[in-house]
Amino acid sequence: MVFSLTPEQAMLQESASRFLGDRYDDAARRRFRAEDAGFSLDIWQEIARLGWLGSGFSEQRGGFGGGPIETMILMEAAGNALMSEPLLGSMVLPGSVLAEAGSYDDLAHLIEGKSLFAVAWDEPEQPSALEPATVAEPCGDGLAIHGEKKLVLGGQIADVLLVTAKLDGRLAILRVQSDVGGVDVRTHRTLDGGKAANVRFDSARIDRSDVLASGNEAPAVVSEMLARAIAAACAESLGAARNLHDRTLDYLKLRVQFGRRIGEFQALQHRMADMFIALEEAQSLSMMATAALEEPNGDHRDRILSAAKIGVMGRAMHIGREAIQLHGGVGMTDELPIGDGYKRIKSLSLMFGDEDFHLDRMNSLAV
Amino acid sequence: MTTIWTPELRAFRDDVRAFCEENLPADIRLKVLAGVPLTRPDHMRWQDILAGKGWLVGFWPRAYGGCDWSAAETYVFQEETTSSGAPWLLPFGVNYVGPVIYTYGSTDQKAEHLPGITSNEVFWCQGYSEPNAGSDLAGLKTRAVRDGEYYIVNGTKIWTTMAHWADWIFCLVRTDAAAVPQRGISFLLIDLRTRGVTIQPIKSIEGDSHLNQVFFEDVRVPARNLVGEENKGWTYAKFLLGHERVLSAEVGKARRYLRRIKRLAARNGKNNSPRLKDRLSRFEVDLLALEQTTLRVLGAILAGEARGHEASVLKIRGSAILQQISDFAVDVLGTEALSYDPEWLRENAGMPLEEIESMGVVSEALYTRAPTIWGGSNEIQRNILAKHALGL
Ligand SMILES: Cc1cc2nc3c(=O)[nH]c(=O)nc-3n(C[C@H](O)[C@H](O)[C@H](O)COP(=O)(O)OP(=O)(O)OC[C@H]3O[C@@H](n4cnc5c(N)ncnc54)[C@H](O)[C@@H]3O)c2cc1C
**Quick check: B135 and A258 CB within 8 A?**
yes
Name the 3-class secondary structure at B169. Answer: strand
More confident residue, B2 or A190: A190
Q: How many residues does chain B have?
A: 392
What is the residue type of B135?
S
A217-254 and A299-327 helices cross at what angle (nearest 10)? 20
Digit-by-digit pLDDT tens for chain A (367 residues) are 567 899 999 999 999 999 999 999 999 999 999 999 999 999 999 999 999 999 999 888 878 889 999 999 999 999 999 999 999 999 999 999 999 999 999 999 999 999 999 999 999 887 789 999 999 999 999 999 999 999 999 999 999 999 999 999 999 999 999 999 999 999 999 999 999 999 999 999 999 999 999 999 999 999 999 999 999 999 999 999 999 999 999 999 999 999 999 999 999 999 999 999 999 999 999 999 999 999 998 999 999 999 999 999 999 999 999 999 999 999 999 999 999 999 999 999 999 999 999 999 999 997 7
Of the candidates A268, A332, A347, which has its C-beta nearest B205's C-beta?
A332
Q: What is the structure's pLDDT at A59?
A: 86
* Exposed e or buried b per residue across B286-323, where buried means at least 16 C-beta atoms within 10 angstroms of its C-beta: bbeebbebbbbbbbebeeeebeeebbbbbbbbbbebbb
How far is A234 from A214, CA to CA, in rounded Å? 29
**pLDDT for B268:** 84
Return the pLDDT at B349: 86
**Beta B150-158 vs B197-202: how paired, if at all?**
unpaired
Q: List pLDDT tens digits, range B344-353.
A: 999 988 888 8
* Cα A107 to Cα A144: distance, rounded to the nearest angstrom: 24
Say which amino acid occupies A107: L
pLDDT of residue B269: 85
Spatial CA neighbour of A47 closest among A26, A75, A10: A75
Q: Return the closest-CA partner of residue B43 out of B25, B19, B65, B60.
A: B25
Cβ atoms A329, B131 nearer than 8 A: no
pLDDT given at position B193: 97
Nearest to A181 by CA among A211, A212, A210, A145: A145
Distances (CA, A) of B43 to B25, B39, B274, B309: 11, 7, 39, 31
Burial grade of B371 (CB within 10 A; 0-12, 13-18, 19 or more): buried
Architecture label for domain B239-388: Up-down Bundle (1.20)
- Expressed in angstroms and rounded, the spacing between residue A255 Cα and the centre of ligand 1 is 12
Which residues of chain B have a CB within 8 Å of the CB of A348? none
The answer, yes or no, to whether residue B1 has pLDDT greater than 60, is no
Map residue B222 onto helix, strand or coil. Answer: strand
Q: Which of A258, A325, A334 sits opposite B207 (nearest CB)?
A: A334
Pairing of strands B185-191, B226-227: antiparallel
* Partners of B151 in beta bridges: B146, B221
Dist CA B138 CA B388 (whole Å): 19
**Domain B124-232 falls in which CATH fold?**
Butyryl-CoA Dehydrogenase, subunit A; domain 2 (2.40.110)
Query: What per-residue confidence (pLDDT) applies to B2?
Result: 62
Residue A296, ligand 1, Cβ within 6 A: no
Q: Do the beta carbons of residue A231 and residue A71 sit within 8 Å?
A: yes
Domain B7-118 CATH superfamily: Acyl-CoA dehydrogenase/oxidase, N-terminal domain (1.10.540.10)
Tens-digit pLDDT profile for residues B59-77:
999 999 999 999 999 999 9
Given a contact cutoff of 8 angstroms between Cβ atoms, the answer to whether A236 and A349 are in contact is no
A178-182: long-range pairs with CB below 8 Å, 24+ = A180/A204, A180/A205, A180/A206, A181/A205, A182/A144, A182/A145
Where does residue B285 rank: exposed (0-12), middle (13-18), buried (19+ CB within 10 A)? exposed
Which of ligand 1's atoms lies nearest the C-alpha of B161?
A: 8
Is A289 within 8 Å of A234 (Cβ atoms)? yes
H-helix segments, chain B: 7-23, 26-34, 40-53, 71-84, 91, 98-104, 107-118, 233-242, 251-267, 274-302, 310-333, 342-347, 353-367, 378-384
Coil, helix or strand at residue B81: helix
Query: First CA to last CA across chain B, in angstroms?
Result: 29
pLDDT value of residue A64: 84
pLDDT tens sequence across B86-95:
999 999 999 9
CB A225 within 8 A of CB A97: yes
Q: Coil, strand or helix: which one is A196?
A: strand
Helix and strand counts by DSSP (H, E) for chain A: 12, 10
Task: Choose the residue to mutate in B96, B135, B160 for probing ligand 1, maximizing ligand atoms within 8 Å of C-beta.
Answer: B135
Encode A322-337: b = buried (16+ Cβ within 10 Å), e = exposed. Answer: bbbbbbbbbbbbbebb
First to last CA, chain A: 22
Cα–Cα distances in angstroms (integers) from residue A39 to residues A20, A32, A86, B288, in the given order:
14, 5, 8, 47
Indicate the helix (H) or strand (E) that contains A164.
strand A160-167
Q: Say how many C-beta atoms besides its own lie within 10 A of residue B144's C-beta.
A: 29
- Alpha-carbon distance B128 to B160, whole Å? 8
| Closest approach of A193 to chain B, Cα-based (Å) | 8
Task: Report the alpha-carbon distance of residue B240 to residue B158 in Å, rounded.
Answer: 19
Please state the separation of Cα A117 from the chain's center in Å.
14
- Decide which of B290 and A124 is more confident: B290
User: Over pLDDT 90: what percentage of chain B?
Assistant: 86
Burial B26-48 (b: 16+ CB within 10 A, else e): eebbbbbbbbbbbeeebbbbbbe
The alpha carbon of A352 is separated from its chain's Cα centroid by a whole number of angstroms, namely 9
pLDDT attached to residue A270: 98
Q: Do domains B124-232 and B239-388 have the same CATH topology?
A: no
- Enumerate the domain spans of chain B: 7-118, 124-232, 239-388
- pLDDT tens figures, B291-328: 999 999 998 888 888 888 899 999 999 999 999 999 99
Residue of A191, A251, A309, A336 to mutate, testing the B interface (most B Cβ within 10 Å of its Cβ): A191
Q: Please give the backbone phi and psi of residue B69, each rounded to the nearest 5 degrees, phi first.
A: -60, 145
State in Å: Cα A258 to ligand 1 middle.
13
HSE, side-chain direction, 13 A CA sphere, residue A1:
15
CA distance linking residue A327 with residue B370, whole number of Å: 11
Q: How far is the CA of B371 from the centre of ligand 1 (A)?
A: 10
Local structure of B132: helix, strand or coil: coil
Helix (H, G, I), strand (E, B) or coil at A12: helix
Residue A277, number of CB atoms within 10 A of its CB? 12
User: Which amino acid makes up residue A224?
Assistant: E
Task: Establish how many alpha carbons lie within 13 A of residue B346's alpha carbon, considering only the half-sphere containing its beta carbon.
Answer: 10
Of B203, B335, B379, the CB nearest to A333: B203
pLDDT of B244 over the 70 cut: no
In chain B, residues with a C-beta closer than 8 Å to the C-beta of A343 are 205, 366
In sign, the C-alpha dihedral spanning A207, A208, A212, A214 is positive
Domains assigned to chain A = 7-115 (1.10.540.10), 119-214 (2.40.110.10), 218-364 (1.20.140.10)
Length of chain A: 367
Which residue minimizes the CA distance to atom 31 of ligand 1? Answer: A328
Q: Report the atom number in ligand 1 closest to the C-alpha of B383.
A: 42
d(CA B40, CA B162): 9
DSSP B124: E
Q: How far is B95 from chain A (nearest CA, A)?
A: 22
- In B, which residues are within 8 Å of A329 by CB distance? 129, 134, 158-159, 211, 373-374
Buried (b) or exposed (e) across A235-256, using 16+ Cβ within 10 A? Answer: bbbbbbbbbbbebbbebbeebe
Q: Does the beta-carbon distance from B377 to A356 stay under 8 Å?
A: no
d(CA B220, CA A204): 69
